[in-house]
Copies of this chain bind each other. A is one copy, B any other.
Amino acid sequence: MTVVAHTEYLTIRTPSRYEIRDITPDIERVRAAAGLWDGTILVSTMHITSSIFVNDHEPGLWRDILAWAEKLAPYGEDYAHHQTGEDNGDAHLKRMLLGHQVIVPVTKGALDLGPWERVHYGEFDGMRPKRVLLKALGIRE
């Protein structure tokens, strides 16, 4: 058994401020590049106004998730963070609600996900390049 440690970075620039995007194919690509047979892939946004989470690949649900995050952490409130000149206090909270990283299990050379599990990137302050770290750790066959 050979231990594997392989890291890649994904750059995402969304056309709008808020967006949800399925990035599962990128994770499978990194798994293959690492030759990972058993272990995990850490998927972690490197920015504090975006999110990584697992849910269904269903555009109606994506709208529900964005509406829910807006309801619980609204844009345009009088956040103390805005005294720094920023206007994205809501994005910092939305990303806490939805989480910023996911561990994807890999078993027998494949992503070990349930039938509807897909890994998503959630953007809450977009229209500029953001990075996502993907780190494969485990063993080769």
Q: Interface residues, chain A, CB within 8 Å of chain B?
A: 1, 3, 5, 7, 38-40, 42, 44-48, 53-56, 58, 60-61, 63-65, 67-68, 72-73, 79-84, 89, 92-93, 95-103, 105, 107, 112-117, 131, 133, 135, 137-139
Contact = CB atoms under 8 A, between A and B. Distances in A.
B97 A80 contact: no
A83 B60 contact: yes
- Interface class of chain A by DSSP: mixed
B61 A89 contact: yes
18 contacts: A1-B3, A5-B39, A40-B42, A40-B137, A48-B54, A48-B55, A48-B116, A53-B100, A56-B92, A60-B82, A60-B83, A60-B84, A61-B80, A61-B81, A64-B89, A96-B97, A105-B135, A137-B138
